Structure 1
Amino acid sequence: MQRRWDIFCTIIDNFGDIGVCWRLARQLTQDHHQTVRLWVDDLASFSCIAPDVNPEIQRQVVQGIEICHWQCMPAEIMPAEVVIEAFACELPDVYVAALLQRKKQPVWINLEYLSAEPWVTQCHGLPSPHPSLPLIKTFFFPGFVQGTGGLLREKNLIAQRSAFSTIAECEFLQRKGLLARKPGEIRISLFCYDTAPVTKLIRILFESSKPVLLIVPEGSAAGSIASLLNNSSSQTGKLIQHGQLTVQIIPFMEQTDYDRLLWSCDFNFVRGEDSFVRAQWAGSPFIWNIYPQAEGAHWKKLDAFLDLYTANMPEDMADAVREIGACWNGKYEINSAIWLNFLFFRESITQHNKSWVRQLFEQVDLASSLVKFAENRL
């Protein structure tokens, strides 16, 4: 049944939260034929990954989804039947007041951050009564195992990935102005937080015995790389050449193009939640830059994921994956030996990832889980 959905998103680190919400909104609309209104507080950042969004227009329809600037909510707002409060953002007071006016209480869902920690299955689906109003929301946790809400995965995603041939890759690279592959080249995408040891990675890649193409979106990481290489390298526009290393700096991509970039690379450095999940569907070896949290809480999340992900790996391969993950997130110092050890297992990790994707595919995807949950309560 077609329902009306309101999704609320505050943009914290520019792209992670809105990346998830935009994918969810599109999947609800395209795969499940729901009517979606997406409330966002930063249309300018949103437009970086959704070029059809005009940051100057407070209310617009893009790909069948109504997009509204959060601060421009009318006092007479009519809430939807299903309300998603994404990543602990708080609904506006005027909207909460409008919820009270509805004869039938909407399904109010608190969509939480993705985590592999064991406690998630115990908290998924728990009610959270409002402290002072007769309203109840429900905690909904994405996850990697049964008993969670699953991961975002469009109906045709795996088929599209399988159909991405060498010819399709060449066409994509040409369309996006990306360099064609060189024989024997290692192609890497790099998307990370400012805390990642980018400079050390660049120095390691200097020493590569094979040609390396590093593809980096515009931003602080690209700026750091450009500054590091400025005096010792040839630079033409968005291309920087240093020995065997070529760095190509690119604009942020629309999400479906970003997926294809991940499919085109041999290794993917990803950050946060959205690109982290997409790297897993891509199947190539990936290194996750987890969002740093107070008191080292992110280490528990990283370890919990790696416990699941490496469970069926040979011990030496699992050690290589864990070691580079710890180094990339600042627990230890990354060096050439650690990178080369990870590189050594490239084919084995790629094969492992095929099994990992099949395991994840056994879950119901997140959008389908949300639709079923909402229908059971309406």
Structure 2
Amino acid sequence: MRWDIFCRVIDNHGDLGVCWRLARQLAARGESARLWVDDGRALAWMAPGGCPGVAVVDWSDAEAVEAAAQAAPPDVLVEAFGCEPAPALIARYAEHARTPGFRGAWINLEYLSAEPYVERLHTLPSSVFRGPGEGLTKRFFYPGFSPRTGGLLREPELAARQAGFDRASWLAAQGIGWQPGERLVSLFCYEPARLAALLGQWAAGEAPVRLLVTAGRAAQAVRTALALAADAPAATAGRLSVHFLPLLTQDDFDALLWSCDLNFVRGEDSLVRALWAGLPFAWQIYPQDDDAHHVKLEAFLDAIEAPPSLRAFHRAWNDTHDADPSAPDAATLDDWARAAQRARDAQRAQDDLLTQLMRFVDALPRP
């Protein structure tokens, strides 16, 4: 089948990361995938080699839109996160969708949440009342953590890849001078209000910590907290050693998570990858002005049955109260590791998102 995935990059590249993983997995299953994106510059470092079977089209290119409107339309139109594809492309899809025997669908792929409404709305239809798609039906498809949702994106070979991973070789290839006995911590975050306090605890602690900081906002936040120059490649403060990473491909980001004793992640895509890693992690949820993200955070902590220490850390890290997060000791990390592995095993027992999505599309009634 032909799949068109539409993605509008809002910020932080998380939407594009999710859509690229979906397109890659479609191609791996022999499907034809075309990714429409309004700003695909991040793919230059996220996926520098591209992917056979995946075409990337610049959504802002009028000629590309016109050419697509004249070409074979998709069988499945995936509107990621309510991004509203170009009317000309909707019109071409609608023409195809109204033909007898059409076996595709218009899917509204939603954001990930563990909140109760996800189970209620998952797969529900939504009629289109105006515009070029008038008379058609969209279907909501919600990622999630329970069997009554669409599950999570997961490649079939992911567990085998991780099992065969060589931590020491990957760290050496990245130029990371890790020493046995050092606690490795990855940091992918926005600008946490409690970051400086946490860095101070590691610097004053007994155990040596090597912090691997991802490029972009996380790096800037650490440099600000430690008063470092913008081009500083590394830093040392007491027992804390800081290593600033370059932009990583999606595969290298997975490897980073597999390498560390504790992973800090943000947004949606990296949260899912941290869960699959099955190692201790802390999530910084995307902040919202009305603090709705606090409810979403609590629902997630409930979904993974987080132990009390992990709940307390998440609440402090996400600034839900005035206390600073306490840097976890070895016993606490062991507790978090057990929780992460339980959560990963529970998700592995469910079908992945693409398997569920393809099955859902195939079971829809034909016109």
TM-score normalised per structure 2 = 0.91
Tell me whether 13-22 or 134-143 shows the greater mean CA deviation: 13-22
Any residues of structure 2 matched to 1:321-360 within 5 Å, and which?
Answer: 321-335=310-324, 338-340=326-328, 344-360=331-347
Instruction: Look up the SS of the partner of 1:305 in the other structure.
Output: helix
Check whether the contact 2:187–2:212 (CA below 8 A) recurs between aligned residues. yes
Any residues of structure 2 matched to 1:281-320 within 5 Å, and which?
Answer: 281-310=276-305, 318-320=307-309
Q: Does 1:89 align with 2:83?
A: yes
Q: Does 1:173 align with 2:171?
A: yes
Deviation track 1:231-253 (CA, whole Å, cap 9, x = no partner) reads 6x9x9951111221111111121
Query: 2:88 is aligned with what amino acid?
Result: V
Partner of 1:126: 124
Are the structure 2 counterparts of residues 159 and 13 from structure 1 closer, same or farther at C-alpha, using a change threshold of 3 Å? Answer: same
Are the structure 2 counterparts of residues 227 and 294 from structure 1 closer, same or farther at C-alpha, using a change threshold of 3 Å? Answer: closer
Identify which of 40, 43, 66 aligns with 1:46: 43
Tell me whether 95-104 or 116-125 shows the greater mean CA deviation: 95-104
User: For 2:117 and 2:295, how far apart are their aligned partners in 1?
Assistant: 12
Check whether the contact 1:86–1:112 (CA below 8 A) recurs between aligned residues. yes
Deviation track 1:37-60 (CA, whole Å, cap 9, x = no partner) reads 00111121232312235xxxxxxx
Any residues of structure 2 matched to 1:1-378 within 5 Å, and which?
Answer: 3-30=1-28, 32-52=29-49, 62-72=51-61, 73-74=65-66, 75-102=69-96, 103-104=99-100, 106-132=104-130, 133-164=134-165, 168-180=166-178, 182-230=179-227, 237-310=232-305, 318-335=307-324, 338-340=326-328, 344-377=331-364
Q: CA deviation at 1:26?
A: 0.6
Q: Percent identity?
A: 41
Query: 1:216 is aligned with what amino acid?
Result: V
Deviation track 1:51-71 (CA, whole Å, cap 9, x = no partner) reads 235xxxxxxxx3321011111
Check whether the contact 2:78–2:108 (CA below 8 A) recurs between aligned residues. yes
Are the structure 2 counterparts of residues 42 and 196 from structure 1 closer, same or farther at C-alpha, using a change threshold of 3 Å? Answer: farther
User: For 2:322 and 2:177, how far apart are their aligned partners in 1?
Assistant: 31
User: For 2:201 and 2:276, how far apart are their aligned partners in 1?
Assistant: 27
User: For 1:329 and 1:96, how far apart are their aligned partners in 2?
Assistant: 39
Instruction: Look up the SS of the partner of 2:120 in the other structure.
Output: helix
Where in structure 2 are there 5+ consecutive unaligned residues? Answer: none
Partner of 1:57: none
CA RMSD of aligned residues (A): 2.0
Q: CA deviation at 1:215?
A: 0.7
Q: CA deviation at 1:327?
A: 0.8
Q: CA deviation at 1:108?
A: 0.3
Tell me whether 200-209 or 126-135 shows the greater mean CA deviation: 200-209
Deviation track 1:282-315 (CA, whole Å, cap 9, x = no partner) reads 11111001111231111111111111212xx6xx
Query: 2:361 is aligned with what amino acid?
Result: A
Are the structure 2 counterparts of residues 196 and 281 from structure 1 closer, same or farther at C-alpha, using a change threshold of 3 Å? Answer: farther
Q: CA deviation at 1:363?
A: 0.8
TM-score normalised per structure 1 = 0.88
Tell me whether 132-141 or 12-21 shows the greater mean CA deviation: 12-21
Instruction: Look up the SS of the partner of 1:121 in the other structure.
Output: helix
Query: 1:151 is aligned with what amino acid?
Result: L
Q: CA deviation at 1:195?
A: 4.4
Q: CA deviation at 1:78?
A: 3.6
Deviation track 1:73-117 (CA, whole Å, cap 9, x = no partner) reads 114354200110001111111111212322255410000001111
Matched positions, count: 353
User: For 2:270 and 2:210, how far apart are their aligned partners in 1?
Assistant: 19
Deviation track 1:179-231 (CA, whole Å, cap 9, x = no partner) reads 22x23211110001134532222222221211111111122331232244346
User: For 1:197 and 1:50, how far apart are their aligned partners in 2?
Assistant: 32
Check whether the contact 1:200–1:334 (CA below 8 A) recurs between aligned residues. no
Instruction: Look up the SS of the partner of 1:288 in the other structure.
Output: strand
Query: 2:341 is aligned with what amino acid?
Result: K
Check whether the contact 2:196–2:226 (CA below 8 A) recurs between aligned residues. no
Check whether the contact 2:194–2:324 (CA below 8 A) recurs between aligned residues. no
Where in structure 1 are there 5+ consecutive unaligned residues? Answer: 54-61
Check whether the contact 1:204–1:335 (CA below 8 A) recurs between aligned residues. no
User: For 2:295 and 2:257, how far apart are their aligned partners in 1?
Assistant: 26
User: For 1:5 and 1:335, how far apart are their aligned partners in 2?
Assistant: 46
Q: CA deviation at 1:10?
A: 0.8
